[in-house]
Structure 1
Amino acid sequence: METESKKKRVLAISSRGGHWIELIRLKEAFADQDVTYVTTVPEYQDMVIGANFRVVTEATRDNKLRLIRMFFQIFWIMLWVRPDAVVTTGAAPGVAAVWLGRRFGARTLFVDSVAACEEISLSGKLALPHSDAFLTQWQHLASGRVEFHGANV
């Protein structure tokens, strides 16, 4: 008799707006896993009904105190969830989660924003050294550890 494999715990995290929309487009990829979604907008929970959902403080590099608060919120979520994998499409929550995820022993994946078409995004540049895998949606940006996964146009 075959035993059912244990579901992986995935922390799927991003900031608001386009980063969140891109993360939600990846939902199918972890449909059979135990996913906790994290973002900065409470109303986004309606987009992941039935899934675990957490909200963290909206923060940017312009507000260091909010960044610190957000970092500690993500730290506590990591302690609670103990993810096997962290998947993010970016901005501040994603960078923090990738950095923390590595320290918690999770595999980390950063999918850079489709809007970052001329160069890797700032959050991507910050996350790259700490991510196990880094994907870009633009072929001309792929080099070294940055892998292209997108449509050839």
Structure 2
Amino acid sequence: MPRLLAVASGGGHWVQLLRLRDAFAGYETAYVSMFENYAEAVPGARLHTIPDASRFNKLSFLKVALKALWIMAKERPRAVVSTGSAPMLFFILLGRLMGARTLWIDSIANAERMSSSGRLARKLAHRTVSQWPEVAEKEGVQCWGSIL
């Protein structure tokens, strides 16, 4: 069975990712987020945790990058799906470099324009989508509907 890595930070990003679980049927899915207690939401699946990162603390991104490299080497996914936020860009980049198909779903919270992470993901991921038709049209990406 092909492997899929589903990655999202906490809060609403994680909730949106969980709502996609039915779409992951047919894959051996492992998850990445920031909180160990999220394992309760994905029983039977592997959950890897990464530290939080902020643009205000550049060193935090180095820690995430190293952990992402370790997780990607261990999981070797065929596909990577992310609902954000910025720390998850490392999984999109590494997935692309490792030959995995990559998908970035910009958060539904971004109703007027894509997030800054989404704009970066558009350059890295095989496919980047918005959950708002107006945003998708303005940003030159597709809208496949909304998760929430």
Smaller-chain TM-score bracket: over 0.9
- 1:147 is matched with 142
- Structure 2 gaps of 5+ residues are none
**Normalising by structure 1, what TM-score?**
0.91
1:137 maps to a residue whose letter is Q
- 1:99 is matched with 93
Deviation at residue 145 of structure 1 after TM alignment: 5.0
- 1:50 is matched with 44
Aligned-partner Cα distance in 2 for 1:109–1:91:
13
Aligned-partner Cα distance in 1 for 2:43–2:93:
28
- 2:12 is matched with 18
Identity across the alignment (%)? 41
- 2:33 is matched with 39
Give SS of 2:83's match: strand
Deviation at residue 32 of structure 1 after TM alignment: 2.3
Give SS of 1:49's match: coil
RMSD: 1.2
Does the 8 A contact of 1:133 with 1:145 survive in 2? no
Do the aligned partners of residues 93 and 31 (structure 1) sit closer, same or farther apart at CA in structure 2, a change above 3 Å counting? farther
- 1:30 is matched with 24
- 1:65 lines up with 2:55 in the alignment: no
- Structure 1 gaps of 5+ residues are 1-6
Rg larger in structure: 1
1:130 maps to a residue whose letter is L
Q: Between Structure 1 and Structure 2, how many residues are aligned? A: 145
